Amino acid sequence: MRLPKAFVAALAAFLLAGPAHAVNPDEMLKDPVLEERAREISKGLRCVVCQNQSIDDSDADLARDLRVLVRQRLKAGDSDEQVVQFVVARYGDYVLLKPPFKSSTYVLWFGPPVLALIAIAALIAFFRRRRPEAVEARRGLTPEEERRLKKLLGDNP
Amino acid sequence: MRRALYLLPVVLFLGLAAVFLYQLSFGRDPRDIPSVLINRPLPPLDLPGVPGRDDIGLKSEHITGQVSLINIFGSWCVACVAEHPMLLQIRKTGLVPVHGIDWNEKNPEDGSRWLKRNGDPYDRVGLDLGPPKTNAAIDFGVTGAPETFVVDASGNIRYKHTGPITPEVWTDTLAPMIKELQKP
């Protein structure tokens, strides 16, 4: 089978294209190690304008400002943890795309597993309860049932 | 009685729908992010002035000592135009000084042009063009404009209002709070 050249070209273009990044070249740090750390930190910080994007993904002005600020802090010698704390001190835990594990977020972390356990327990209870009926059916008919069945089938004794 | 159990999913669904409906109509706006700065001291401010207005700018010492409002605005911000008459009116009452942070302008002079056109309700205005130079708005945890902060006399942030100050917000919330804070 021969594929049209245009199709192959289009397919290649789609496969080779990476996701577009919001980070502009002029924002990037010259030091690739620092830049990589900045990217990692940015991916975990929520853009407070668009709310469901990280500042690494967002084109919003405020996201750009925060990206620049993250890089500025890194260049000043902050650790990753310090940079994140810098932003959290201003915007709260809300900016963390991965919520921290603490007493106010227990419901968030434990909720889904607890619900799953309840669902599994309910399923087990449901099938346990059904089983006795199935056993009863396999045991066959009582004499009374036998008599009624014969009567219904017109097989008079 | 066992029949009633089959209605359980419907009951659960209706209950959940009721919760969602309540949240949608009376619940908190998800865009209104609670500020972590309430009852904390004002972040240090050292902003230059808006070219064409003054070169004093906005610095921490301009704010402390009396109850004041800090309003984040920008000439690009549509809701700020809607809020502006209210700020002019607040200025006229003389109840409280209003300071401005002119945020995220494309050109440094845009703010002063905008203030000439719409009127200038501010005591002091600082220019915040964003990082790497200044990041006052981020220090305030600003998510958009306009936002207004109530600062008490000892320089602590006491309240944040997100969005334009409407006459209702002023008479029901801000004005009573300011009068309360001004009591010796």
For B124-170, how does the pLDDT look when each residue is reduced to its tens digit (9 = 90+)?
Answer: 999 999 988 999 999 999 998 999 999 999 999 999 999 999 999 99
Q: Residue A136: what pLDDT?
A: 64
Q: In angstroms, how far is the first alpha carbon of chain A from the final one? A: 76
Asked if B27 and B141 count as a contact pair (C-beta separation under 8 A), the reply is no
From chain A, the residues in CB contact with B142 under 8 A are 62
- 3-state DSSP helix/strand/coil % of chain B, to nearest 5: 40, 20, 40
ipTM summary value:
0.81
Partner-chain contact A94 B33, CB within 8 Å: yes
Mutate to test the interface with A, among B135, B147, B160 (most CBs of A within 10 A): B135
Quote the minimal CA–CA distance from A16 to chain B in Å. 34
Mutate to test the interface with A, among B45, B143, B157 (most CBs of A within 10 A): B143
Q: Residue A140: what pLDDT?
A: 77
Q: What is the DSSP string of B71-96?
A: EEE-TT-HHHHHHHHHHHHHHHHTSS
Q: What is the pLDDT of residues B17-39, one digit of tens each?
A: 999 999 888 877 766 777 889 99
Q: pTM (2 decimals)?
A: 0.76
From chain A, the residues in CB contact with B34 under 8 A are 92, 94
Nearest in space to B144 (alpha carbons), one of B104, B87, B85, B90: B104
Quote the minimal CA–CA distance from B125 to chain A in Å. 20
Partner-chain contact A69 B30, CB within 8 Å: no
Asked if B176 and B170 count as a contact pair (C-beta separation under 8 A), the reply is no
Task: Going residue by residue through chain A, which has 157 residues, state the pLDDT in tens, using 9 for 90 and above.
Answer: 667 788 888 888 777 776 556 777 778 888 899 999 999 999 999 998 887 889 998 888 999 999 999 999 999 999 999 999 999 999 998 899 988 888 888 888 899 999 999 999 999 998 888 766 666 666 778 888 888 888 888 866 5
A55 touches chain B (CB under 8 A): no
Question: What totals of helices (H) and strands (E) does chain A contain, helices first?
Answer: 6, 0
Partner-chain contact B140 A90, CB within 8 Å: yes
Distance of CA B76 to the CA centre of its chain: 16
Mutate to test the interface with A, among B138, B140, B162 (most CBs of A within 10 A): B138
Q: Residue B31: what pLDDT?
A: 67
Which residue in B34, B37, B135 is closest to A65 by CB distance?
Answer: B135
A53 touches chain B (CB under 8 A): no
Band the pLDDT of B121: cuts 50, 70, 90.
very high
